[in-house]
Amino acid sequence: MCERPTDDLSGAESWQYKACPVKEHNSGVVTVRLAIALLVLTSLCVGGRFLARWRLPNAHVGIDDWSVLISYMFIIPATFLIIFSESSQQTFLH
């Protein structure tokens, strides 16, 4: 792996280094795709849980169902933060 210089040069010279033959590995696209896939899977599971509670005659919505729903509400903004943070980093990579 190529390293950047550590000496204290002034301005832009400190960030200039020779071309590195090793490509930088960016797993951001994979992270975003995985976050979206997990959000979809979670949505299907939570939706299926509440649908089953609604359709079954003896089932009722309990405290465990509400805790799952509250947890799900935290996953939605977390996924959007992952997407937003990765899209903002893409502009600075190149």
pLDDT 10s digit of each residue in the chain, 94 long? Answer: 555 555 555 555 555 555 666 666 667 788 899 999 999 999 999 999 999 999 998 888 999 999 999 999 999 999 999 999 887 765 544 4
Chain centroid to CA 29: 10
| Length, in residues, of the chain | 94
64 belongs to a structural domain: yes
pTM for the whole structure: 0.64
Residue 76 near residue 15 (C-beta atoms within 8 A) = no
Range of the domain at 80: 26-93
How many whole angstroms separate alpha carbon 59 and alpha carbon 84? 39
21 belongs to a structural domain: no
Residue 30 near residue 42 (C-beta atoms within 8 A) = no
Of the candidates 18, 19, 39, the one whose C-alpha atom is nearest the C-alpha of residue 82 is 39
How many whole angstroms separate alpha carbon 50 and alpha carbon 60? 9
Number of domains forming the structure of the chain? 1
The CA-based diameter of the chain, rounded to the nearest angstrom, is 74
5 belongs to a structural domain: no
How many whole angstroms separate alpha carbon 79 and alpha carbon 69? 16
10 belongs to a structural domain: no
